[in-house]
Each structure stands twice: as structure tokens, then as C-alpha cells.
């Protein structure tokens, strides 16, 4: 088991390393001169040249890569050409907002998705089932930006149930920064009003992000439960006198969760990517909006940093999912399978 984890981590590190090379190359292939763009068209040649020297832009690519990597390891991810701050500071400010949002989305996705799917699977071919199936289809085919626009429109502008931008209403004091995640910080500080306010701001974007994944989870859970209902061990358990309720809630659910959790991992990662558009639409000051802006304005340091961070997050989520699945399914643990 331990070797399994270590091997996975090892492979992931190699992949991340390769990713860093890839993203570095991509960013440095960008047409246009980033320095000139940053300094403006009217900067003097001398200033431009100076900056180029400073950023090692005249050196061969692999040398630049080395500088970049060693800087990164020391916590220096360069300077954002857009915000003019150290990228690291930008990340410290924006990452927690995205993580917070993703966590809430993930919880919604998992809990609601699995519950809907389980109910639907148990009552196959009834109106409950059909309703959930239609809902899941809608959830899967609708792009997340469409959900974002619709929710914003309907619940924000039309019904005025939820605020439409930002994380905290104007006039409220931001809780002291400990984790950067306002919900947790406000709880730590004991500021319930702020907590409620922040949470309220989070609901619409979180749901918009969660819809697609929720629908996927519901579908997978439903079909797995439906399949497993016909399995011999369920018949056997029934035949031995296990009560129906116990079978549904325990003996059917646990094996059915296995494919669902695997997909959950992928969907959770997809959250981060869908966040690029949703954060933009809700003006949520998170890493994805920051990254999106960086991409659109060719802010190479920021882009590279954001991609790497997302890559690391993605890897962590995947490993966590693998671990959970291995815990759920003893066949993987005990027969030494799993991964490649």
C-alpha cells in the first residue's frame, strides 16, 4: 500500500516536472515582447533592454528555465506583468478564494449528486428516477458558463435572493486573514455575521460550478446501483434474511460508491477548470479569474504559476481519490492492483 502511494507520488512529480517544462516553453513562445507590453510602448529602449537582462530573456531557453525553476523553489515566482506585484503575493491572495469555492462546490456535488443518484437507482423506472435522469442530462449538457449566467440572472438580478458579485458585501469588515478562506477565518474569529454573508455570496457560484459534476455523480451512482441490485451477493443477502433497508443503505451503497468516487475526483478537478469562466462571470476574486486575466493579457509569469499550482492541486486530488477508492474496495488494496 505504501509502495503504491509512493509510486503514484513519484510518477506525479515526474509529470509535474514535465508540465513545468511544457508550460515554460509555451509561455516563452508567446509572440510579442512581454517586456515591452509591460513597460508600455513609450518606454525607452534602454529601460526595455535593462528589464530583459533582469529577466534573463536574452539567455537560451534552458538557462531561463533553470532560473525560473530555482526561483520558484525559493518561493519567487516572478512578478506579474499585470498587477505588478510578486506573483506569490497574488497567489496568496487569490488562491484561498478559489479553494473555498471549490470545496463548497465539491461538497454540494458529492452530497447532492450521490443522494439523488442513490434514490434514483433504488427506485428505478419510477417517476423519481425519470425526473432525476432528466435533471442529470440537463446538468451534463449545459455549459457551466450558461449555468453561471442563468443563476446570476435569475437568482441575483431578477429575484434578488443572492448578491451578484464579490465575496463580501460592502460595509462589512473582512475577518482577519488566517487561512485566507473567509468562511473559515470568520468562524475562527467568531464573526458569525461575516460568515453568513460570505457564505451567501458563495452559494450561487458554487452551485453554478457544481451542477455539471452533480449531474455526473447522480448518473454514475444511479447506474451503478441499478447494476449492483442485480448482483448475486445482493440476492444472496436478501436470501439470508437481511432486511431490505439495511441492504439499500449499507450493502448496496458501499460497493456502488466506488466508481462514483473515482469520477468525483475528475469532476472536482474539472471544477477548477470551469471556475475560469464562472469566477469571471461572478467577479469572484479567485485564482481562476486571476489566471484567466493573465492568459488574456499574456502575463507569462502569472500564467505559468497558475498552471503549475492547478497541476499540483489536480495531482493531489487524484492521489486522494485513489486512496479513498483503495480504502473502499479491498480488492484493490489486497491484490496489489491499482494504477499502472
Partner 1 sequence: MRFFSHPLVKRRIEAARKGWYKFSKNPVSLVGLSVIVLILILAIFAPYVAPNPEHAGRYVNFAESNQPPSLHHWFGTDTFGRDILSRVFFGFRYSLIMGLVVLAIATPIGVVLGLLAGYYRNRWIGTLIMRITDIFLAVPPLILALVVCSILTPSLFNAMMAVTLVWWPWYCRLVYGLASSYRGEFFVQAAEVTGATKAHILFREILPNCVSSIFTKMSLDMGWVILIGASLSYVGLGAQPPTPDLGTMVADGAKYLPAQWWIAIFPALAIMLTVLGFNLIGDGFRDLFALEEV
Partner 2 sequence: MTDPILEIADLHVEFKTYEGPLKVLNGVSMSVQPGRRVGLVGEAGCGKTTTMRCVLGILPNPPGKITKGSIHFHGQDLLHFSKREFQRIRGHGISMIFQDPTAALNPVFTVGDQLETAIRYGSKQTASRKEIRHRALKALSEVQLPDTERILTCFPVELSGGMRQRVCIAMALATEPELLIADEPTTSLDVTIQDQILRLLYDLVENHGTAVIFITHSLGVVREMADEVYVMYAGNIVEGASKDELFHAPLHPYTQGLMSAVPKLTGGGVAEGIPGRIPEYISPPGGCRFHPRCTRAMSRCAGECPQFVTIHPSHQVACFLHSGESHG
Contact residues toward partner 2 (CB under 8 A) are 230-244, 246, 251, 254-255, 258, 328-331, 334-335
15 scored as a contact of partner 1 (CB under 8 A): yes
From the list partner 2, partner 1, none, which binds 240 (C-beta under 5 to 8 Å, kind-based)?
partner 2
26 scored as a contact of partner 1 (CB under 8 A): yes
d(CA 81, CA 30): 14
From the list partner 1, partner 2, none, which binds 242 (C-beta under 5 to 8 Å, kind-based)?
partner 2
Nearest Cα to Cα of residue 99 among 23, 173, 167: 167
Residue entry with cell 480488492: 331
For residue 137, give the H/E element and its range.
helix 127-141
d(CA 249, CA 252): 7
Q: How far is the CB of 223 from partner 2 (least distance, A)?
A: 17
Nearest Cα to Cα of residue 326 among 317, 336, 316: 336
Q: How far is the CB of 37 from partner 1 (least distance, A)?
A: 13
State the Cα torsion 325-326-330-336 to the nearest 10°: 140
291 scored as a contact of partner 1 (CB under 8 A): yes
For residue 96, give the H/E element and its range.
helix 87-122
Q: Which is nearer to partner 2, 190 or 330 (CB)?
A: 330
In DSSP terms, 86 is beta-bridged to 79
From the list partner 2, partner 1, none, which binds 272 (C-beta under 5 to 8 Å, kind-based)?
partner 1
Under the rule (CB under 8 A), what is the footprint of partner 1? 11-12, 14-16, 18-19, 22-23, 26-27, 29-31, 137-138, 140-146, 149, 153, 157-158, 269-270, 272-274, 276-277, 280-281, 291-292, 295-296, 298, 303, 307, 310-311, 314-315, 340
Amino acid at each position: 500500500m505504501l509502495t503504491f502511494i509512493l509510486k503514484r507520488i513519484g510518477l506525479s512529480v515526474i509529470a509535474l516536472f514535465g508540465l513545468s517544462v511544457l508550460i515554460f516553453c509555451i509561455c516563452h513562445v508567446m509572440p510579442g515582447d512581454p517586456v515591452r507590453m509591460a513597460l508600455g510602448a513609450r518606454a525607452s529602449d534602454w529601460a526595455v533592454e535593462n528589464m530583459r537582462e533582469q529577466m534573463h530573456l536574452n539567455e537560451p531557453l534552458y538557462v531561463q528555465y533553470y532560473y525560473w525553476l530555482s526561483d520558484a523553489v525559493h518561493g519567487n515566482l516572478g512578478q506579474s506583468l499585470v498587477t505588478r506585484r510578486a506573483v506569490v503575493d497574488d497567489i496568496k491572495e487569490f488562491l484561498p478564494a478559489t479553494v473555498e469555492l471549490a470545496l463548497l462546490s465539491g461538497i454540494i456535488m458529492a452530497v447532492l449528486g450521490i443522494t439523488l443518484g442513490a434514490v434514483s437507482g433504488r427506485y428505478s423506472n419510477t417517476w423519481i428516477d425519470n425526473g432525476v435522469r432528466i435533471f442529470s442530462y440537463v446538468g451534463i449538457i449545459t455549459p457551466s458558463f450558461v449555468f453561471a449566467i442563468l443563476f446570476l440572472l435569475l437568482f441575483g438580478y431578477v429575484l434578488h435572493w443572492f448578491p451578484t458579485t464579490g465575496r463580501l458585501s460592502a460595509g462589512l469588515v473582512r475577518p482577519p486573514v488566517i487561512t485566507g478562506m473567509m468562511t473559515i477565518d470568520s468562524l475562527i474569529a467568531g464573526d458569525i455575521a461575516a460568515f453568513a454573508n460570505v457564505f451567501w455570496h458563495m452559494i450561487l457560484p458554487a452551485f453554478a460550478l457544481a451542477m455539471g459534476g452533480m449531474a455526473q455523480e447522480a448518473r454514475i451512482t444511479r447506474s451503478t446501483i441499478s447494476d449492483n441490485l442485480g448482483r448475486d451477493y445482493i440476492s444472496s443477502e436478501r436470501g439470508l434474511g437481511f432486511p431490505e433497508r439495511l441492504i439499500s443503505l449499507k450493502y448496496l451503497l458501499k460497493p456502488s460508491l466506488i466508481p462514483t468516487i473515482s469520477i468525483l475526483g475528475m469532476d472536482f478537478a474539472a471544477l477548477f477548470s470551469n471556475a475560469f469562466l464562472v469566477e469571471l462571470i461572478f467577479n469572484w476574486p479567485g485564482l481562476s479569474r486571476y489566471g484567466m486575466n493573465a492568459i488574456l493579457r499574456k502575463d507569462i509569469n502569472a500564467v505559468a504559476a497558475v498552471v503549475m499550482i492547478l497541476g499540483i492541486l489536480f495531482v493531489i486530488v487524484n492521489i486522494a481519490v485513489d486512496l479513498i477508492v483503495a480504502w473502499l474496495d479491498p480488492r484493490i488494496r489486497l491484490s496489489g492492483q491499482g494504477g499502472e
